[in-house]
């Protein structure tokens, strides 16, 4: 028996098996950079964050985050199919850990891009434009630059990542009416 996408999402919501996932990294590529924080917000639950003690030491963080992600039946990201998930997979490969099990994955970037023709497509813009309760937290260059050396910057990035998944949930609640299919 197959479920239509809306029924699947409703069941995932009711069982808290849909989760909003975001990650902050020290750069764009998993070979020369590492994870700093991964935040996961299961629908109807509280945010769970996995944070490095020091940039470059992300083995336990990626392992724990993936264990949490594997408990979900569906992930929701913003541009995560092109960035967050491949980065996480790269770090798993680097640490010789099992790869992330593919799950149905709803990428709100592609959903919104395919259904509305806004001049701007950033998550920050969409949250502002749709007047959602959670807005995207901006972080200056000094925080990113000092993260490898300063614990306070890592704490700030954790706060940002948690804000991102809350905003992602708000964006999902507004945009899920467009969902006709959820692919892996």
Provide mean pLDDT across the span 101-111. 95
DSSP secondary structure string for all residues of the chain:
----HHHHHHHHHHTT-EEEEEEEESSS-TTT--EEEEEEEETTS--EEEE-SSTT--HHHHHHHHHHHHT-SEEEESSTTTTHHHHHHHHHHHTTPPPPPP--EEEHHHHHHHH---S---HHHHHHHTT-SS-PPP--HHHHHHTTT-HHHHHHHHHHHHHHHHHHHHHHHHHGGG-S--B-
Higher pLDDT, 39 or 184: 39
- Whether the per-residue pLDDT at 64 is higher than 90: the answer is yes
Percent pLDDT > 90 in the chain is 89
Q: Which domains does the chain have, with CATH numbers?
A: 13-108+121-176 (3.30.420.10)
Say what the pLDDT of residue 1 is: 56
Angle (CA) 159 160 163, round 5°: 90
Residue 3: which pLDDT band, with cuts at 50, 70 and 90? confident
Say what the pLDDT of residue 151 is: 86
pLDDT in tens, 22-36: 999 999 999 999 999
**pTM for the whole thing?**
0.95
Residue 39 near residue 49 (C-beta atoms within 8 A): yes
pLDDT in tens, 123-140: 999 999 999 999 999 999
In sign, the C-alpha dihedral spanning 28, 88, 140, 112 is: positive
- Indicate the average pLDDT of the chain: 94
């Amino acid at each position: 028996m197959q479920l239509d996408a809306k029924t699947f999402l409703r069941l995932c919501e009711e069982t808290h098996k849909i989760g909003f996932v975001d990650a902050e990294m020290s750069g764009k590529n998993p070979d020369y950079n590492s994870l700093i924080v991964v935040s996961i917000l299961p629908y109807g639950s509280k945010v769970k964050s996995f944070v490095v003690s020091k940039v470059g030491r992300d083995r336990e963080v990626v392992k724990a985050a993936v264990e949490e992600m594997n408990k979900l039946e569906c992930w929701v990201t913003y541009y995560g199919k092109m960035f967050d998930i491949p980065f996480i997979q790269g770090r798993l490969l680097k640490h010789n850990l099992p790869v992330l099990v593919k799950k149905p994955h709803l990428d709100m970037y592609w959903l919104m891009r395919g259904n509305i023709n806004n001049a701007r497509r950033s998550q920050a813009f969409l949250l502002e434009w749709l007047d959602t309760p959670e807005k995207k937290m901006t972080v200056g260059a000094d925080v990113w630059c000092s993260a490898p050396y300063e614990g306070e910057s890592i704490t700030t990035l954790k706060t940002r990542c948690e804000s991102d998944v809350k905003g992602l949930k708000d964006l999902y609640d507004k945009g899920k009416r467009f969902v006709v299919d959820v692919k892996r």
